[in-house]
Amino acid sequence: MKKVVVAGAGGFIGGHLTKKLKEMGYQVRAVDIKPLTRWYQITEGVENLVLDLKSKENCYQALNGFEEVFNLAADMGGMGFIETHKADCMLSVLINTHLIMAARDLGVQRFFYASSACVYNGSKQTDPDNPGLKEADAYPALAEDGYGWEKLFSERMCRHFTEDFGLITRVARFHNVYGPFGTYDGGREKAPAAICRKVIDGKLFDKKEIVIWGDGHQTRSFMYIDDCIKGVLDIMYSNIQEPINLGSSEMVSINQLVDYVEEIANFKLSRKYDLDAPKGVRGRNSDNTLIKQYLNWEPSIPLKDGLKKTYDWIKEQMVENKGKDSKKVVFNEF
Ligand code: NAD
């Protein structure tokens, strides 16, 4: 039975990955800084540890006796969070630094690091008609301020730990992941969840207007969580020694994303564009040439299908909470 640690297991992707690894018959240790009551998913039969992985001692405790590590722990959120918490985002470097040192010293056999499309050079993302970012487009480096630089630095740390210490590392650059059991309110949510919430809120509370960040013409691609989990596992157990895109290549504008959600809801709102809100780069898409070459696969769950499942889950949560204040903004307090 393989013994694996999931760091950031109380989070969105970590929660889904923990569940999958357990289903695969692995012995899983799940670690997160949040109290258990705030984990998105708790999987039965998994050892859960609440630890701050910025601390070196905690990282040694977390990995002790285990063979493989998936590092998904980071202080992060959507554009609204990363544009206003650059220093907090950079402090996640302590998590990866201490985890990878512990992995080296404790004889861990494989180490996965969750990087991001935010490592890509901003000057290659100024056109909404983005042809797709190739892995080489991360250099010369001009990453997203704060969050993206931390990811790029941690990617390189993985590379040098492989070169200098022989630790097997795998790095995937996630492009916007979405799905159920993630955040949809409170300031850390990303566009798909935020738009689902706003449309559901409109429907539940009979509102007429939706506020969209930016002019709605900015483009992105969005990967459904099931594709993400498959990709993480396939990359982890592959021979891919370089950082690789893990994202959908189905690019849409934010306006199209709103169209899709309104279609699912069967409800239309009038659109108000907040041009001063955080909006990130102008156009971003994933070039999947490399992943197709290596794995003969790319994320392909259609956005409309994944959005329907995400919408239904968020609606269920919001209906349960109806009557409570749906607009309360609370940042996670760690
Ligand atoms: P998430 O915020 O839901 O999960 C991250 C988890 O890390 C949280 O539960 C948080 O409590 C935990 N964490 C933060 N600081 C910690 C600490 N000091 N010690 C222990 N745990 C700590 O985010 P997610 O969407 O599941 O993302 C997982 C990973 O994937 C992150 O590294 C993120 O940067 C990366 N990523 C995600 C996306 C996306 O679209 N979701 C895109 C690109 C990259």
DSSP string spanning 176-215? -EE-SSS--SSS---HHHHHHHHHHHHHHTT--EEEEES-
Alpha-carbon span 196 to 184, nearest angstrom: 8
pLDDT in tens, 117-176: 999 999 999 999 999 999 999 999 999 999 999 999 999 999 999 999 999 999 999 999
Ligand 1 within 6 A of CB of 62: no
- What does the pLDDT read at residue 79? 86
CA distance 131 to 134: 9
What pLDDT is attached to residue 229?
A: 98
Residue 138: Cβ-neighbour burial (10 angstroms; 0-12, 13-18, 19+): buried
Quick one: 148 and 186 in the same domain?
no
Number of domains in the chain: 2
How buried is residue 326: exposed, middle or buried, by Cβ count under 10 Å (0-12/13-18/19+)? Answer: middle
Q: Which of 26, 113, 120, 147 is catalytic?
A: 147
Please report whether residue 132 resides in a domain.
yes
Q: Does ligand 1 come within 6 angstroms of the Cβ of 11?
A: yes
Mean of pLDDT values over 245-263: 97
Q: What's residue 324's pLDDT?
A: 57
Clarify whether residues 310 and 209 are in a common domain: yes
Contact between residue 15 and residue 40 where contact means Cβ atoms under 8 Å apart: yes
Q: Which two tokens stand for residue 232?
A: 């993480």
Measured CA to CA, the distance from residue 260 to residue 146 in angstroms comes to 32
Closest CA to 33 of 266, 298, 333: 333
Q: How far is the CA of 270 from the centre of ligand 1 (A)?
A: 33
Residue 237 lies in a domain: yes
Task: Indicate if 40 belongs to the active site.
Answer: no
In a shared domain, residues 64 and 86: yes
Cβ of 177 closer than 6 Å to ligand 1, yes or no, is: yes
Beta carbon of 120 within 6 Å of any ligand 1 atom: no
> Do 228 and 212 sit in the same domain of this protein?
no
Whether 200 and 170 map to the same domain: the answer is no
What distance in angstroms lies between residue 213's CA and the mean position of ligand 1's atoms? 23
CA distance 139 to 281: 16
Which of 12, 41, 184 is the pocket-test mutation for ligand 1 (most atoms within 8 Å of CB)?
A: 12
Question: Which of the listed residues 48, 53, 76, 334 should we mutate to test ligand 1's pocket, taking the one with most ligand atoms within 8 A of CB?
Answer: 76
Residue 272 belongs to domain with CATH number: 3.90.25.10
Residue 10 within a domain = yes
Residues 187 and 66 in one domain: no
Query: Measured in angstroms, how far is the CA atom of residue 10 from the centroid of ligand 1?
Result: 9
Same domain, 193 and 145: no
Residues 274-327 have pLDDT tens digits of 999 988 899 999 999 999 999 999 999 999 999 999 999 999 999 987 655 444
Does the Cβ of 72 fall within 6 Å of ligand 1?
yes
Convert the pLDDT of each residue in 214-250 to its tens digit: 999 999 999 999 999 999 999 999 999 999 999 999 9
Cβ of 49 less than 6 Å from ligand 1 = no
Q: Of residues 329 and 252, which shows the higher confidence score?
A: 252
Q: Is the CB of 224 under 6 A from ligand 1?
A: no
Strand partners, 333: none
Does the Cβ of 88 fall within 6 Å of ligand 1? Answer: no
Cβ neighbours for 222, distance < 8 A, ≥ 6 positions apart: 175, 176, 177, 178, 191, 192, 248, 250, 252, 257, 303, 306
Range of the domain at 196: 180-220+250-285+303-320
Cα 12 to ligand 1 centre (Å): 7
Are 49 and 147 members of one domain?
A: yes
Those residues with Cβ within 8 angstroms of residue 144's Cβ, 6 or more apart along the chain or in another chain = 82, 116, 118, 119, 122, 280, 281
* Beta pairing, strands 251-253 & 219-221: antiparallel
Q: Which DSSP letter does residue 252 get?
A: E
Please report the pLDDT score of residue 334 as a whole number. Answer: 29
Considering the domain boundaries, does residue 290 fall inside one?
no
CA of 209 to the centre of ligand 1 (A): 31
SS3 at position 69: strand
Atom nearest to 39 CA in ligand 1: 9
Task: Measure the CA–CA gap between 222 and 249, rounded to whole angstroms.
Answer: 8
Q: Is 74 in the pocket of ligand 1 (CB under 6 A)?
A: yes
Residues 154, 189, single domain; the answer is no
72 CA to centre of ligand 1 in angstroms: 5
**pLDDT recorded at residue 328:** 36
